[in-house]
Structure 1
């Protein structure tokens, strides 16, 4: 599986599936959800909200509407009650569940953001390390291309530093060197 850390607007990406950094209510507000909502159109929010609420770390799938994707996978790394904070476990489980759902949908490409690290308040560097670990440990059935996306220069630099590498081939080379 190819794995890259990329910079850009998730709503401008082309992939079989895009992952939304969702809360359990699936209401699409700001951040990643807002970008996807603006890119897809209001129908995305209506379909997502109709499928909520979901359990913490669960995923729901909607059409991607006007986005250059077939699906949006809404991964609930944060609750929409109380303080709304993500945890290490919710980020880990939501990431794994998004990868698994992409495989179940026969997606070959997937773009995912730093789940739980925006409005949910989880530290971006620590969250990126968790997401990176889950991606590296994941053994896909169909998925061939995973892009971990960061929006701003600062976010991109933080994610790259936290992951230490940017491509799957670098993981393989590093793993071989460690043995």
Structure 2
């Protein structure tokens, strides 16, 4: 299985499935959910909330509407009510359940964000490590490509370092391929 960290807007990605960093209510607000809602259109929020609430760590699937994907997998890494915080366990469970659901749907490509690390406030380095570990130990049936997406430059560099996908660099910031 091919794994990479990419930078950009998740709503602009092309894949069989995109993962939404959801709360248990599945109501789409800001952050990743907001970007997906803007890209997909209003129907995605209606369908998602009809399928909610789900238990912490669980997932639900909707159509991708106007996004360049077949499905959006809403992974509930944070509680939507009360504290709204993510935990190590909820991030691991949401990641694993998203991967399993993508396989069940026959997806070959998947784009996943830093679940629980945005509005839920979980530490990005630890969250990226947990997600990377779950992806690394997952044995796919149909999934051939997973892209871990970061929005900002800082987030991109942090996720690459945390997942061990940072490009090796030599002295003076020169990469191996520059020599």
Runs of 4+ in 1 over 4 A off after TM superposition: none
Task: State the partner residue of 1:149.
Answer: 149
Distance in 2 (CA, whole Å) between partners of 1:82 and 1:44 is 24
Deviations 1:4-38 (A, max 9, x none): 01101000000000000000000000000000000
* Distance in 1 separating the partners of 2:107 and 2:59: 15
Q: TM-score, normalised by structure 1?
A: 0.92
For residues 81 and 45 of structure 2, the distance between their equivalents in structure 1, rounded to whole angstroms, comes to: 19
2:86 aligned partner:
86
Give the TM-score taking structure 2 as reference length: 0.92
**What's the Cα RMSD here?**
0.9
Aligned to 2:53: 53
Cα separation, 2, equivalents of 1:57 and 1:21: 11
Report the alpha carbon displacement of residue 166 of structure 1 after superposing the two structures with TM. 5.6
State which structure, 1 or 2, has the greater radius of gyration over its C-alpha atoms. Answer: 2
Q: Distance in 2 between matches of 1:52 and 1:163?
A: 31
Unmatched 5+ residue regions in structure 2? 168-179
Structure 1 pair 150–45 and aligned structure 2 pair: CA distance change class (3 A): same
Tell me if the contact between 2:58 and 2:97 (Cα under 8 Å) persists in the aligned partners: yes
Contact 2:6 2:147 in 1 (8 A): yes
Cα distance between partner residues in 1 of 2:93 and 2:46: 25
The count of residues paired between Structure 1 and Structure 2 equals 167
